């Protein structure tokens, strides 16, 4: 059960990063928001695939 919760939290973090990416692409500076979106996406992926 704890592992499922951990994966759900990681997926939520990645989803938040993807949301920033999609919203940022339509902004006035999409390159900046793309870089900003990579931070939570990377954190979520590292969290999901890190050894437990």
pLDDT in tens, 22-39: 999 999 999 999 999 999
Residue 51 banded pLDDT, cuts 50, 70, 90: confident
6-21 pLDDT, tens digit per residue, is 999 999 999 999 999 9
Q: Where are the domains of the chain?
A: 2-46
The answer on pLDDT for 47 being more than 90 is yes
- Please write down the HEC assignment for all residues of the chain: CHHHHHHHHHHHHHHHHHHHHHHHHCCCCHHHHHHHHHHHHHHHHHHHHCCC
Residue 52 has pLDDT above 80, yes or no: no
The model's pTM is 0.89
């Amino acid at each position: 059960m704890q592992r499922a919760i951990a994966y759900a939290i990681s997926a939520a973090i990645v989803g938040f990063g993807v949301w920033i990416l999609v919203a940022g692409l339509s902004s006035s500076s999409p390159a900046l928001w793309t870089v900003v979106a990579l931070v939570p996406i990377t954190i979520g992926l590292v969290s999901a695939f890190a050894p437990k």
